[in-house]
Structure 1
Amino acid sequence: MTTKTSWKLTSLLILFTFLTCSFSYTFTIINNCPQTIWPGTLAGSGSPPLATTGFRLDTGQSIKLTTVPGWSGRIWARTGCKFDTAGVGRCQTGDCGGRLECEGNGAAPPTSLFEITLGAGNGQDYYDVSMVDGYNLPLLALPRGVHGGACNATGCITDINRGCPAELQVLGGVQNQGVVGCRSACEAFKLDKYCCSGEFANPNTCQPSYYSTLFKKACPRAYSYAFDDGTSTFTCKAYEYDIVFCPNSNGIGRPNPASPPPPIRQPYWKHHQVTSSTNILLPFPAPIFLLVLTLTFLAFVTHGK
């Protein structure tokens, strides 16, 4: 190989690496809980899977997962899991089809959810923490690497399990005596007025209930029912998001208490089924146009020998 060709190949690798990094977003998932958790990830319809759909995360551990602009999906934590060597088992909360790898299965309620749609180009990211499917763990979402202005943290850092009404409690732990999750009224009672379905499938007829109000008082910035948009959905332009489970365990502070933003458009996943998903510490491949760029450059190098 000539020096000229070698230099071209080196330039190609540098360019490819730069472009790949420049068009990536990072989710840093952190376990501050006193117990092991098993996070799960689920990509929305039309979004590529992350590098993992489910994994173990011990106390004090963290993991970084990368993706591309336009990605949309959910991240949550499972608790009380037991899996065999083949990755088959069950979790007390957040279970996703009885496997370590969720592989396209969503979280069984009750589960605290982080939801996000990343912007493409100069577009804004839309993100929230939701208790529409109930609650299992405190959760804080912190934008990092903010581009152009400030962004709000959001989440639910209160331990709702401690004050969960008896009719919503999910028991687990030793002899099923401990509360490991707090169901939504929709999950507990299966009524349209709680589920915002049927004649209640619009923001005019589906109003806050006694139960959703309890969730909202405990966690003012999180979704408490399906049409709770105005104080629960946030926008930002960031390149990294920290997703911290049990943030208060090691002294991480509360979200910025600034006034919530005005009502904005609702992320698509609230009323559309989420499908698809992911496996560990590997960056997601660069967009297709980078592949095309690489092939074009290789052709140029080959003909330039």
Structure 2
Amino acid sequence: MADDFRAVPTAAPPETGAAAAVPHTVTFVNRSGKKLWIGSTVNKGEPDGDSKSLKSLPTLNPGQSATVKIPENTAPHHWRGKFFARQGCSGRDGSTFHCAVGDCGRFARRCVTGEQPVSLAEFNFDMKDRDAPWYDVSYVNGFSLPITIAPRGAENVTANGSCSKQGCKKSLLRYCPKNDRVRNASGKVVLCVNPSRDARSAYSDAIEKHCPKAYAWSKQDAETGNKTMRQCSRCKGFVVTFW
């Protein structure tokens, strides 16, 4: 289920290779043409312990990349959470810092509140689950920037889609229903917000049509033939690209 599932050089690294060694890494690549502040939040209320929040996240100018290590090899021995791109940020770090899209609090390098509706890269790294990591691109709450997730150092994509690249490079803002559009001060559409994340809608139909390898609404993974969530147990990590 999207949002709470349990189950470097700027060029993206190759997607095939040897078995993984923990901890896994996630490399962020900024192909959006905009300055991005990476944000992250973790799932809360987990019965086997909440994941550790990441406290040092990168800021990327256009064309830049950066890598973080996932803290899965210390208690509680899993990391379940999401990454996203914050846009249009300004202000004094720790005081007046604020982002126009994807705001999550007053700090540039970490989040202290839940994120505003944006495009998400979601992960479940779990040392107790031999099929993990699990991953998906989620536009369930909203769409801001295109995201792709590509396993790094993984075996070839299998017949059932394990280790496949998820998401899409295409901007979907042009397909956003008029009532779901959010504009900036200049009148440009910068965000599309899902009005009904737990049910099918004109929003989810548009997202699914143009990006079938991303979640468009929360129960999409239960539909026959869906392509939303994947796992890649032998990868070394992932490349998350913002387009």
Q: Give the TM-score, by structure 1 length.
A: 0.62
Q: CA deviation at 1:160?
A: 1.2
Q: Which structure's residues are more often helix, by fraction?
A: 1
Corresponding residue for residue 36 of structure 1: 35
CA distance in 2, matches of 1:183, 1:176: 18
Q: CA deviation at 1:240?
A: 1.0
CA distance in 2, matches of 1:103, 1:94: 10
The correspondence for 1:241, drawn from 224, 238, 241, is 238
Q: How does 1:125-136 map to 2 (within 5 A)?
A: 125-136=133-144
Structure of greater Rg: 1
Q: How does 1:81-160 map to 2 (within 5 A)?
A: 81-86=89-94, 88-109=96-117, 111-120=118-127, 122-146=130-154, 150=158, 151-160=163-172
2:153 is paired with a residue whose SS is strand
Q: CA deviation at 1:149?
A: 6.2
Q: Does 1:49 align with 2:53?
A: yes
Deviations 1:46-101 (A, max 9, x none): 2122352x442111111110022521110000111112254632211100024324
CA distance in 2, matches of 1:165, 1:148: 37
Q: Give the TM-score, by structure 2 length.
A: 0.77
CA distance in 2, matches of 1:36, 1:60: 9
CA RMSD of aligned residues (A): 2.1
Contact 1:51 1:65 in 2 (8 A): no
Corresponding residue for residue 183 of structure 1: 193
Deviations 1:7-46 (A, max 9, x none): xxxxxxxxxxxxxx94211000111111101110122332
Identity %: 29
Contact 2:152 2:236 in 1 (8 A): yes
Matched AA of 1:245: F
Contact 1:155 1:219 in 2 (8 A): yes
Change (3 A) 1:24 1:147: farther
CA distance in 1, matches of 2:115, 2:31: 20
CA distance in 2, matches of 1:34, 1:103: 23
Query: Structure 1: which 5+ runs fail to align?
Result: 1-20, 186-193, 197-205, 247-305
Contact 1:41 1:76 in 2 (8 A): yes
Query: Structure 2: which 5+ runs fail to align?
Result: 1-19, 45-49
1:27 is paired with a residue whose SS is strand
CA distance in 2, matches of 1:64, 1:51: 14
CA distance in 2, matches of 1:113, 1:177: 24
Change (3 A) 1:119 1:148: farther
